Amino acid sequence: MLNTFVVYVENKPGVLTRVASLFRRRAFNIDSLTVGRTEKPEVSRMTIVVDADRDQALRVEANLYKLVNVLFVENITGKSSISRDLAMIKVSATHGTRTHVLELANVFRARVVDVAPETLTIEITGPEAKIDGMLEVLRPYGIIEMVRTGVVAMRRGVTKLDQVPAAAAVEDSAGSAAADDNVSYSV
Amino acid sequence: MIKTGAQILWECLEQQGVTTVFGYPGGAILPAYDALKYSNIHHVLVRHEQGATHMADGYARASGRVGVAVATSGPGATNMVTGIATAMLDSSPIVCITGQVGSKLIGSDAFQETDITGVTLPITKHNYLVTHADQVAQTISEAFYVASSGRPGPVLVDITKDAQQSTCDFDGKPIKPQLPGYRPELAPTPDEYKKALELIHSAKRPVILAGHGIILSGAMEEVRQFAERNNIPVGLTLLGLGCFPASHPLSLGMMGMHGEAWLNTTIQEADLLIALGMRFDDRVTGSLKTYAPNAKKIHVEIDAAEVNKNVKVDVALVGDLKVVLREMLPKLKSQDRHEWLGYIDRLKGDSAVRDIQNLPDNGHLYAAHVINDLWRETLGSDTVIVTDVGQHQMWEAQYFKHEEPRTLITSGGLGTMGFALPAAIGVKAARPEAEVWAVVGDGGFQMTMCELATMVQENLKVNIAIINNGYLGMVRQWQEFFYDRNYEATPLLSPDFVKLADAYGIRAVSVTRRSEVVPTVEMTRKHKGPVLIDFQVEREDSVYPMVAAGAALHEMIRRPNPLEETAGDA
């Protein structure tokens, strides 16, 4: 089953590699991995979706904690939470089909972000299933290009961030390279 | 005070209590070597960087202190990889310091540039790339802390040439590690303790599986009390040997692939396994499907990631062994287990008859004779045996009865041939007062025998016992058992080891008869310098018992019983 982990890591160079390397080495199966900034500059946050049974999920957590730069791990699977994926879908839209595609976008509460003579580009945000659903209905019109960010997730209600140990403040000179890790990735 | 990164490096190592490092200089680490003139640290010049890591490893295992190895960038650093992986799998605390090309050159494929932090990522507990002098002190403080705390392991610190040369203000005050996410030790919950004690008190056939963690935690006394209080027999892993006295009535010897037959059967028939500081390696469990099928399992382990990795357990107590056992001891009841212990005694059955020690003397020299005589001769003295990997390693584990921790140093997890000689040099450097023997095979010895020169240059007395059978013996044994005796690439030509030793100025003798073993060991112990003994043993002897890879633990290939054989012939 899919397990979703929220992982806080120190915002330092190479931390993403350490996490990715761990998953490869232990043969854990990553479904998606995203990483980005948090409200604290010295902390980055990952959302990792892993295909694992219960025991494996516990070992994923324990192994993540073995990485010295990992601050906090929470498996939010089955807990009340919000998860979102964002997709941009470039779909073929001719005179005859343009209205249909626009209607479908409306139904899914997606936004059209680019209009070209032969295509429409649609931005949609939502749980993965919603995006999968939209892709399904758009496919007959011809999907030309598609990109997804991978899932980001958050617990509902009281945030857990207070439990995250305080990371060392980002230094001015030495820490500048750290910004490299702060872009969003999806694996 | 303004200092260079190189100066700060040595000062910080001194602060960590480092007195000896093992290394090999080169371009990218030269600034650090230049700054050695300001330091009291003794540098041991090795002959190959792999040797430096094994020496640091041996140093660490013999003393419990962090071992330090130094090398230059590129090939110097990559030569360390085997030694780092060895330390990783055996949880040995070492810090490896490598030079790196200048920070401006990183990524340009500069001369002798290797991304060694990338290469060693999966085989270090943690690693660092240092690009400025002002990061050196903080990094060294963290590296030593990470290497030695929790479950120990290797840490690599890669320092660019400009970081060694650049300067910053350094007041010499010790710096605290800043590792907000690092959780070296956890503690079990009261509930888990309660459940574990209930399992022990209701068990009829319990057995303790004692591992390396006991030595790392320093919990030998706690384990002894634990076993004695509840009358639980104790089986040991290879790396656990010495954590519980071999002569203790509750000791059952070594378990696993070449473990004692009665112990493997005991484990299979037990109703409770109490695993202390061991990780259910495949060499210990045999087939997992059939492993201890009727036993509940308690796992006391410092590394949470080991829990339920290979064997699913009923209770896991994640924490430092010494702390956990101390918590449990007052609540542990005394129980009478004479029936179970008596049963195990009977399991020993015909093992004594099969033992090579008791076979009729056919005039041949067997490795077991050599090891056993070495054990008898050194009994009661402060002796550390360092073994290589292969048949001789298993015979040592079977026939040398270790009473004390840190008296057997061997590469268990990675099984690194070539480990023994350099590791023994590290052991002797850490414990000059101890008698140190490297017990090696003719194959593994030739992988790192260049370190003989290091030993002589350092004036260290490490005695070397080569168990020479002219084969890569353990591989030959597998070929005999599982590959239809097709001895492909295992017959081994060796140099004349006596002449070789002579070239290094080391006294050496060759031994071919059992009667010569004891006098030669006596001579070796009396001789002031190191002695190399070339024991030319039976060529095609095998290690028994043996659990074939993937077989159930109780399905052992046994040494043929000579009495049964005779009966069959008649």
Query: Domain with B447 in it: what CATH number?
Result: 3.40.50.970
**Is B112 an active-site residue?**
yes
Angstrom distance (rounded) from CA B384 to CA A124: 68
Query: Of B120-134, B349-363, B392-406, B441-455, which range is least confident?
Result: B349-363
- Count of domains for chain B: 3
B200 and B309 share a domain? Answer: yes
Q: B448 and B376, same structural domain?
A: yes
* Residue A39 touches partner B, C-beta closer than 8 Å: no
Q: Amino acid letter at A98?
A: R
CB contact under 8 A, A65 and B183: yes
Minimal C-alpha gap between B516 and chain A (Å): 50
Confidence of residue B355 (pLDDT cuts 50, 70, 90): confident
Q: Looking at beta carbons, which residues of chain A come within 8 Å of B122?
A: 21, 25
Concerning whether B49 is annotated as a catalytic residue, the answer is yes
Same structural domain for residues B314 and B379?
no
In the residue annotation, B357 being an active-site residue is answered as no
For the CA atoms of B116, B122, B127, B128, the dihedral, rounded to the nearest 10 degrees, stands at 50
The per-residue pLDDT for range B32-44, each reduced to its tens digit, is 999 999 999 999 9
- Verify that B150 and B7 share a domain, yes or no: yes
Does residue B61 surpass a pLDDT of 50? yes
Contact A68 B182 (CB under 8 A): yes
Mark whether B337 and B268 lie in a shared domain: yes
Residue A159: the pLDDT is: 61
Domain limit, last residue, from B169, B201, B236:
B169
Is B121 an 8 Å CB contact of chain A?
A: yes
pLDDT in tens, B233-248: 999 999 999 999 999 9
pLDDT at A170 over 50: no
Q: Angle at Cα A54 formed by Cα A51 and Cα A55, nearest 5°?
A: 105
B382 lies in the same domain as B526: yes
Q: Do B386 and B528 share a structural domain?
A: yes
Q: Are residues B391 and B489 in the same domain?
A: yes
Distances (CA, A) of B55 to B22, B68, B93, B356, B428: 7, 9, 12, 34, 9
Residue B415, token pair as written in the block = 């099984």
For B107-114, what is the mean pLDDT?
96
pLDDT for residue B356: 72
Give the whole-angstrom CA distance, residue B338 versus residue B432: 44
Per the model's pLDDT, the better-predicted residue between B353 and B239 turns out to be B239
Residues B162 and B298 reside in one and the same domain = no
> Domain for residue B16, yes or no?
yes
**pLDDT above 90 coverage of chain B, percent:** 93
The residue of chain A nearest to residue B308, with distances taken between CA atoms, is A55
| Residue to test with chain A: of B182, B186, B301, most A Cβ within 10 A | B182
Domain presence at residue B563: no
ipTM, interface predicted TM-score of the complex: 0.90
User: What is the edge-to-edge ordering of all strands in the sheet holding B435-441?
Assistant: B408-410, B383-387, B435-441, B462-468, B531-536, B507-511
Which has the minimum average pLDDT: A146-150, A176-180, B212-216, B511-515?
A176-180
| B55 touches B24 (CB < 8 A) | no
Mean local confidence (pLDDT), B329-341: 97
In the structure, what pLDDT confidence band is assigned to residue A163 with cuts at 50, 70 and 90?
low
Q: What does the pLDDT read at residue A160?
A: 57
Q: How far is B180 from chain A (nearest CA, A)?
A: 6
Chain B residue with minimum CA distance to A68 = B182
My answer on whether B20 and B159 are in the same domain is yes
CATH code: domain of residue B248: 3.40.50.1220
Q: For residue B500, give its domain range.
A: 365-537
Give the pLDDT confidence of A144-162 residue by residue, as tens digits. Answer: 999 999 999 999 987 655 5
Span B345-371, average pLDDT: 81
Closest Cβ–Cβ partner in B122, B132, B179 for A68: B179
- Mean pLDDT within B434-463: 98
* B497 noted as active-site residue: no
Mutate to test the interface with A, among B127, B308, B318 (most CBs of A within 10 A): B308
In B, which residues are within 8 Å of A9 by CB distance? 181
Interface membership of A81 toward B (CB under 8 Å) = no
Q: What is the pLDDT of residue A43?
A: 95
How many CB pairs lie under 8 A apart between chains A and B? Answer: 58
pLDDT at B363: 80
Q: Best of A38, A66, A72 to disrupt the B interface by mutation (most B CBs within 10 Å)?
A: A66
- Please, what are the domains in chain A? 2-80+156-182 (3.30.70.260), 81-148 (3.30.70.1150)
Q: Are residues B165 and B199 in the same domain?
A: no
Instruction: From chain B, pick out residues whose CB is under 8 angstroms from the CB of A165.
Output: 180-181
CA nearest to B564, candidates B272, B359, B268, B393: B359
The mean per-residue pLDDT over the stretch B220-240 comes to: 98
B176 is catalytic: no
pLDDT interval class at A173 (50, 70, 90): very low
pTM: 0.93
C-alpha dist (Å) from residue A128 to A49, A148, B144, B404: 12, 10, 45, 59
* pLDDT for res B560: 78
Mean pLDDT over the full length of chain B: 95
- B/e letters for B293-328, b = 16+ CB within 10 Å, e = fewer, are eebbbbbbbbbbbbbbbebebebbbbbbbbbbbebb
CB atoms B182 and A62 under 8 Å = no
Separation between Cα atoms, residue B16 and residue B8, nearest integer Å? 12
Kindly report the nearest CA distance between residue A130 and chain B, in angstroms.
35
